[in-house]
Amino acid sequence: MRSDKGTSPEAVLEGMIRRRLLAVIRTKTPEQALAAAEAVAAGGILSLEVSVTMPDADQVIKALAPRHGLTVGAGGVLSKEQAELALQAEARFLVSPVGDISLVPLCREAGAVSVIGALTPTEILAVHRAGADVVKIFPVDPLGGPRYLRAVLDPLPPLPLMVEGGVTLENLPDYLGLPIRLIALGEHVVVPRLVAKGVYAPITARARDLVLLVEKRQGKR
């Protein structure tokens, strides 16, 4: 494996889609973030979304970006300033929970993948037509998760989509059965109480179980 620095956004996105899973890194300290990232990577989740809401998120991205095999981006991006800080730290993708299409040209200029939020069919199609590389459907869990997605995606053409929030080992098969390219996992894998205790082996185990399930569904095992 190697770092994807210098790789085109298209190739970065292709690798992310092939792996399907992303881990959201959102901790109270940079040290916890780095340890959590190492733990999920050891379990096989190699696409990491570092939340810009945590302290020194840009420094965490900068530290992780050169690691071989990892694709590191920024999540929770709500402003141009947050986007620029993350891109300067060599984030390979930006994720916004809202439909801020002004991030699309910023990503394009920096050679990064843009993942922009939407919820309804109208919003999803509008964000896609505005040039987003991926449309993040959020939040889906409070609206019924896979059941909501099946209804909302039925009238739409195939699109590059990501889902985030409420995904667990138990319901992951339901999401894998939908036309969703990327699935982001948060506190189910990076469990706050484990991070607070400095106990990372169970996080690696959770990540490994999730990766094995994806590989099984894709016929790799």
Angle (CA) 196-199-201 rounded to 5° is 145
Res 161 pLDDT > 70? yes
Q: Are 16 and 182 in contact (CB under 8 A)?
A: yes
Say which amino acid occupies 26: R
The predicted model scores a pTM of: 0.94
Helix (H, G, I), strand (E, B) or coil at 171: coil
Instruction: Quote the tokens at residue 25.
Output: 């890194």
Tell me the percentage of the chain whose pLDDT exceeds 90.
91
Q: Residue 139: which of 163, 116, 109 has the closest Cα?
A: 163
From the CB of residue 141, how many other CB atoms can be counted at a distance below 10 Å?
A: 16
* pLDDT at 7 (0 to 100): 83
Q: Is the peptide bond before 160 cis (omega within 30 degrees of 0)?
A: no
Mean pLDDT taken over the chain: 95
Domain boundaries, the chain: 9-215
Q: Is the pLDDT of residue 160 over 70?
A: yes
pLDDT at 6 over 80: no
Q: What mean pLDDT do residues 61-80 have?
A: 97
pLDDT digits (tens, 9 = 90+) for 162-194: 999 899 999 999 999 999 999 999 999 999 999
The pairing of strands 182-185 and 93-96 is unpaired
9-215 adopts what CATH topology? Answer: TIM Barrel (3.20.20)
pLDDT of residue 4: 57
Alpha helices, H only, the chain: 9-19, 30-42, 57-64, 80-88, 103-110, 121-129, 146-153, 172-176, 192-197, 201-217
Which tens digit of pLDDT belongs to each residue from 138-155?
A: 999 889 999 999 999 999
Long-range CB contacts for residues 163-168, cutoff 8 Å, separation at least 24: 163/136, 163/137, 163/138, 164/22, 164/24, 164/95, 164/136, 164/137, 164/138, 164/139, 165/138, 165/139, 165/140, 165/141, 166/139, 166/140, 166/141, 166/142
What φ, ψ does residue 116 adopt, rounded to 5°? -115, 140
- pLDDT of 5 > 60? The answer is no
Residue at token pair 């981006």: 73
**pLDDT digit string (tens) for 94-120?**
999 999 999 999 999 999 999 999 999
- The per-residue DSSP string of 18-81 comes to HH-EEEEE--SSHHHHHHHHHHHHHTT--EEEEETTSTTHHHHHHHHTTSTT-EEEEES--SHH
Q: Does residue 2 register a pLDDT over 70?
A: no
For residue 219, what pLDDT is reported?
79
